[in-house]
Structure 1
Amino acid sequence: MTAIGLRPATSADSEYCFQLHKAAMGTYITAIWGWDEQIQRDFHANAFTPDRWQIITAEGTDAGMLHVEHRPTEIYLARIELHPDHQGRGIGGRLIRSFLHQARQQDRDLTLDVLVVNQRAQALYQRLGLHEVTRHGENNIKIRMSTKPPQTGLIHRP
């Protein structure tokens, strides 16, 4: 079994995280918006927060990045990206299972957003027990998924 670890991100990880994002998410971003290198670099410069991000390691090698927010009623998986060379090896599933366990222990939900075009990630999240709650963003390009099942059949009328 692959040894998985987490280490704090540092400012020196900025370019690694950008290149990782390009490798892991470039196809999906291109499908929705098209890839504009400068726009993506600007987005990364604004989003990169080393004190909140962690680098995922596999067998001691940098393999991805993680950003988790611990909120009052949920653990929000803001970002999990694995380099394509490390995808399909159970790393993401093992990490998410650990957050599912933590959420259950703390009586919270695990929640995340996934791009509608990223069907591979959606399938993983569904296998792990997350449910689609809603779609949002411009043209409903994001799917909110959670361990809290969606409420169906409830219509509130004033």
Structure 2
Amino acid sequence: MNLDFRQAAAGDSEWLFDTYRRTMKGFVTSAYGWDEDLQKAGFAKSLRQGSCQIVTWEGTRCGFVHWEVEPDLVWLRMLCIVPEMQNKSIGSATIAKVMTLSSYLQKQLYLNVFVCNRAAYDWYRRIGFVEIENDGKVSTLALAPSPSPAHTERHI
């Protein structure tokens, strides 16, 4: 799969929020309730921090990824793939990009996931994230460090 990434621009803001609403409204509603104005304001504020990139496949916007590099970690703020484009490995390729950045910067990668979003929670666990906190609504996960090659046994 050949995905392209480009920095989100001001003209993308309506599409970004619509994508967020389409992918996350059910989970946000389940955990906290949905207030459209509050969600728009919080989303806009969040996007002013860090980096947000639009993911395109064959020229079509299919999702976005938003992360922030902090002094001691990389925080994955959001990874949203439009519903009709899910389950096509777009999310896997997108998270791989953020995991590579985290590794390159030598900073641990963290994210929050709604506990009620079992598909996302289970997927993050399968690709190497471990739970470090859970308040019953949101689970904080950290990418488990890979064993360094010097400490990996080789069996021939």
Q: Give the corresponding residue for 1:141.
A: 137
**Could you tell me whether the CA contact under 8 Å between 2:50 and 2:66 is conserved in 1?**
no
- Give the superposition deviation at 1:121: 0.7
Give yes or no for contact 2:132–2:142 (8 Å, CA) kept in 1. Answer: yes
Q: Note the 1:41-52 alignment, pairs <5 A.
A: 41-49=40-48, 52=51
Amino acid at match of 1:146: A
> How far apart, in 1, do the equivalents of 2:29 and 2:84 lie?
20
Residue 141 of structure 1 deviates from its aligned partner by 1.7
Runs of 4 or more consecutive aligned structure 1 residues displaced over 4 Å after TM superposition: none
Match of residue 3 from structure 1: 2
What are the superposed Cα offsets for residues 65-110 of structure 1, whole Å, 9 maximum, x if unpaired?
1111123332221111111111111111112123323433443222
* Residue 50 to residue 85, structure 1, CA distance change in 2 (3 Å): farther
Corresponding pairs, count: 145
Q: CA deviation at 1:59?
A: 1.7
Measure the CA separation in 2 of the matches of 1:69 and 1:35: 25
Counterpart CA distance in 2 for 1:38 and 1:67 is 21
Task: Classify the secondary structure of the residue corresponding to 1:5.
Answer: strand
1:153 paired residue number: none
Give the distance between the partners of 1:10 and 1:105, measured in 2 at CA: 25
The corresponding residue for 2:25 is: 26
Asked if 1:118 is matched to 2:103, the reply is no
Separation in 2, partners of 1:12, 1:61: 15
Q: Does the Cα contact within 8 Å between 1:4 and 1:58 map onto a contact in 2?
A: yes
Structure 2 unpaired stretches of 5+:
146-156
Give the secondary structure class of the aligned counterpart of 1:54.
strand
Report 1:80-91 matches (<5 A): 80-91=79-90
- The CA RMSD over aligned residues, in Å, is 2.1
**Using the alignment, how far apart are the partners of 1:51 and 1:121 within structure 2?**
22
Identity of aligned residues (%): 28
Query: Which letter maps to 2:12?
Result: D
Q: CA separation in 2, counterparts of 1:107 and 1:38?
A: 37
Find the counterpart in structure 1 of residue 102 from structure 2: 103
Equivalent residue, structure 2, for 1:156: none
Q: TM-score, normalised by structure 2?
A: 0.81
- Specify every segment of 5 or more residues in structure 1 that has no aligned partner in the other structure, as ranges: 150-158
Question: 2-side partners of 1:129 and 1:96: how far apart?
Answer: 11
